[in-house]
Amino acid sequence: MIKPFEKPIYVTRPFLPPLEEYARGLEEIWENKWLTNNGPILKRFTQELRNFFESDNLSIFNNGTLALQIALQGMGISGEVITTPFTFVATTHALFWNKIRPVFVDIEPDYYTIDPDKVEAAITPWTTAILAVHVYGYPCKVNALADVARRHNLKLIYDAAHAFGVNIGARSIAHFGDLSMFSFHATKLFHTLEGGLLIFEEAGLKETFDYLKNFGFKNELEVVMPGTNAKMNEMQALMGLQIFKYLEEMIQKRANISEMYRHFLEDLPGIHLIPVLSPDISWNHGYMTIEVDEKEFGMSRDKLYEELKKYNIFTRRYFYPLICDYACYRNIAVKDPLTVARHAASRILTLPIYDGLELSTVETICKIIHNLQQNVVLRVVGKS
Ligand code: T4K
């Protein structure tokens, strides 16, 4: 009999640098009394990001949602945008706030990313862009999507909220498509408490994004567009600057956790893991996804989610329900039956993964999942 964990095990916990280190950074802020509006720490953080992505075409924001909204506005996207329903709701909200109609199409079964064939089939004269999501940091089919976008003269925008630190071959995932948005929210592998980043191909967009996040100010007297306030402050930038140093270590620790989950769960009937990623992808291990097949496992995904809670393990059903099933989007006509997305949403479960999660805890979580299934089997056998 395994006892419940004494303290809750959440799906994630933010990485924090040593308190003394952050406090030293705060001393600098206290000293110069510069808290926001492109302060010195933000400038240093910006330089780090430029080096990391080997690009000057970037703009930093106070969260990923506003970054994406501003991206769409600054790029002049309008009409219809083809997107995935299997994502966090902010992806679609960013379209809605720009009065753009989302056209939901299905995803592919292995890595839950948008299906390029379905994208192509959904193009109409009103389509202006594709908004794809590297969901859980699993890369979309970037070449196929680029091909569709090029042939139909569409902008290709990536919600890369989950994909910081992911590379395809030697290239950062940021350098595919016209633009990528990364989230630096506390629940992400790399965070700035809250924060967001745009990386884009067209250098001329930088000025527009920078105006839009700062009320449209060009200088003290000129407002050139009706911008909003989406600036990153100094404390956020300080967190990002300090966490940068730990990025590789954080990814490595998560990789060990992923490997352990795979080791203990891959042969368990009814638990399905993603196929091993292609060797040219270096993934960030941002999320640990499993699918629960009710028939094979003997218990539904929702039941497993509830049972795990009894052990003080708080998994999440990212991304269920599908976005088009939320009350605020239910009235949008969806032509695609979304068969794969519906199937995935009904089975998906994200398990705890974060750098401070002990491997022994991961082992216990897996044993609990095994035991839960064993008990179902025993009950069934007992009945027969
Ligand atoms: N696009 C995609 C594909 C996204 O996934 C997101 C955000 C966005 C766009 C928008 O980016 P941002 O505007 O957020 O930068 C969380 C996050 O709030 C959200 O950022 C994230 N995606 C989404 C997938 O997950 P919740 O409502 O599930 O978070 P919450 O508060 O329930 O936190 C989950 C667990 O994390 C908690 O049970 C405990 C732990 N936690 C959380 C926080 C905030 C901590 O230990 N400490 C913390 O400070 O949405």
Q: What is the pLDDT of residues 220-231, one digit of tens each?
A: 999 999 999 999
Confidence at residue 7, expressed as pLDDT on a 0 to 100 scale: 97
Confidence at residue 142, expressed as pLDDT on a 0 to 100 scale: 98
Confidence at residue 383, expressed as pLDDT on a 0 to 100 scale: 58
Q: Which residues contact 374 (CB under 8 A, 6 or more apart)?
A: none
Total count of residues recorded for the chain: 384
- Main-chain dihedrals φ then ψ at residue 131, nearest 5 degrees: -115, 100
Residue nearest to atom 24 of ligand 1 (CA): 88
Cα distance between residue 58 and residue 43, in whole Å: 12
* pLDDT average, residue stretch 338-350: 98
- H helix intervals, 55-137: 64-74, 89-96, 116-121
Q: Are 211 and 225 in contact (CB under 8 A)?
A: yes
| pLDDT band at residue 1 using 50, 70 and 90 as cut-offs | confident
- Main-chain dihedrals φ then ψ at residue 126, nearest 5 degrees: -95, -5
Question: Which atom of ligand 1 is nearest the CA belonging to 183?
Answer: 15
* pLDDT average, residue stretch 144-153: 98
Residue 377 has pLDDT above 80, yes or no: no
Point out the least confidently predicted range of 75-79, 155-159, 286-290, 375-379: 375-379
How far CA 111 is from CA of 253, 256, 299, 339, in Å, comes to 22, 20, 23, 15
Q: What are residue 58's DSSP bridge partners?
A: 199
> Crossing angle, helix 301-310 and helix 359-383, to 10 degrees?
120
Query: Percent of the chain beyond pLDDT 90?
Result: 97
Residue 217 has which token pair?
């100010």
3-state helix, strand, coil in the chain (%, to 5): 40, 15, 40
Residue 331 has pLDDT above 60, yes or no: yes
Residue 185 has pLDDT above 70, yes or no: yes
Point out the least confidently predicted range of 21-25, 323-327, 376-380: 376-380
| pLDDT band at residue 375 using 50, 70 and 90 as cut-offs | confident
Query: Percent of the chain beyond pLDDT 70?
Result: 98
- Count of C-beta atoms within a 10 Å radius of residue 259: 13
137 lines ligand 1 (CB under 6 A): no
Q: Is 156 helix (H, G, I), strand (E, B) or coil?
A: strand
Give pTM, 2 decimals. Answer: 0.97
Average pLDDT, whole number, for the chain? 96
13 lines ligand 1 (CB under 6 A): yes
Confidence at residue 380, expressed as pLDDT on a 0 to 100 scale: 67
Q: Is 111 helix (H, G, I), strand (E, B) or coil?
A: coil
Confidence at residue 376, expressed as pLDDT on a 0 to 100 scale: 78
Residue nearest to atom 12 of ligand 1 (CA): 64
Q: Are 322 and 107 in contact (CB under 8 A)?
A: no
84 lines ligand 1 (CB under 6 A): no
Closest CA to 287 of 163, 129, 186: 163
